[in-house]
Amino acid sequence: MGGSGSKRKKLPKDDLEFLKQKTNFTTEQILEWYKGFIKDCPKGQLSKEQFIKVYKDFFPSGSAEDFCEHVFRTFDVDGSGYIDFKEFLLTINVTSSGTPQQKLEWTFKMYDINNDGTIDEKEMISIIEAIYEMLGPEATKSATDPPRIKAKKIFAKIDVNDDKRVTQEEFVNGCLGDKDLFQILTNEMGK
């Protein structure tokens, strides 16, 4: 999926057709997104450093680096170390106009840090701590629990078979059945 790194002005036809089939965007919207992407990333790739800078602009009072590492890894489907336009738009499509199920499946991938198909308590703690750090002290001062305790409570709630691992099915079902949990785990609270 990764790009060659060369400067491109026009979106290749096969990429346009692929994105029309795989997203809810129109041809015009895809081309508009591409224009903005190429303006910001002339080489056709978004580096981790650029990605973190964008997040810092949105969350200036917090520390976004750890959370960005997790989000970047999930965007970078091919593991190239860069986000190309197709990876970018596919993720934007899911996070902006996907169904709750699709959003949760994407979020599960972010929480599954070691990519083994399950989330363990350590992974849950890592993500929840990163969310708290990103939001900053002002946004999290009303939280009733510190991040580690919050993560353990969430984990216990969605690990329905108590095997110390949360499958994608447990994650999705647990979140779909609990609006507050859905908001916390998909980071919808900051929106």
> What is the predicted pLDDT for the residue at 122?
96
Q: What mean pLDDT is predicted for residues 25-44?
A: 94
- With 60 as the cut, is the pLDDT of residue 190 above it? no
Helix (H, G, I), strand (E, B) or coil at 26: coil
- With 90 as the cut, is the pLDDT of residue 55 above it? no
Is there a contact between 75 and 83 (Cβ–Cβ < 8 Å)? yes
- With 50 as the cut, is the pLDDT of residue 30 above it? yes
Q: Which of 109-113, 130-134, 139-143 shows the highest mean pLDDT?
A: 109-113
Is there a contact between 27 and 78 (Cβ–Cβ < 8 Å)? no
> What is the predicted pLDDT for the residue at 1?
47
More confident residue, 105 or 52: 105
Q: What mean pLDDT is predicted for residues 21-38?
A: 95
Cα dihedral across residues 72, 78, 82, 88: positive or negative: negative
> What is the predicted pLDDT for the residue at 52?
86
More confident residue, 158 or 183: 158
- With 50 as the cut, is the pLDDT of residue 4 above it? no
When the pLDDT of each residue in the chain is averaged and rounded to a whole number, the result is 87
C-alpha 135/C-alpha 63 separation (Å) is: 7
Contacts of 55 (CB under 8 A, 6+ apart): 64, 67, 68, 71, 134
> What is the predicted pLDDT for the residue at 185?
79
Q: Which domains, from first to last, does the chain contain?
A: 13-96 (1.10.238.10), 100-190 (1.10.238.10)
> What is the predicted pLDDT for the residue at 134?
81
- With 90 as the cut, is the pLDDT of residue 88 above it? yes
pLDDT in tens, 58-78: 777 778 788 888 999 999 999
- With 50 as the cut, is the pLDDT of residue 2 above it? no
Label residue 187 by pLDDT band (50, 70, 90).
low
C-alpha 137/C-alpha 13 separation (Å) is: 46
Helix (H, G, I), strand (E, B) or coil at 166: strand
- With 80 as the cut, is the pLDDT of residue 149 above it? yes
Instruction: Name the pTM for this structure.
Output: 0.79
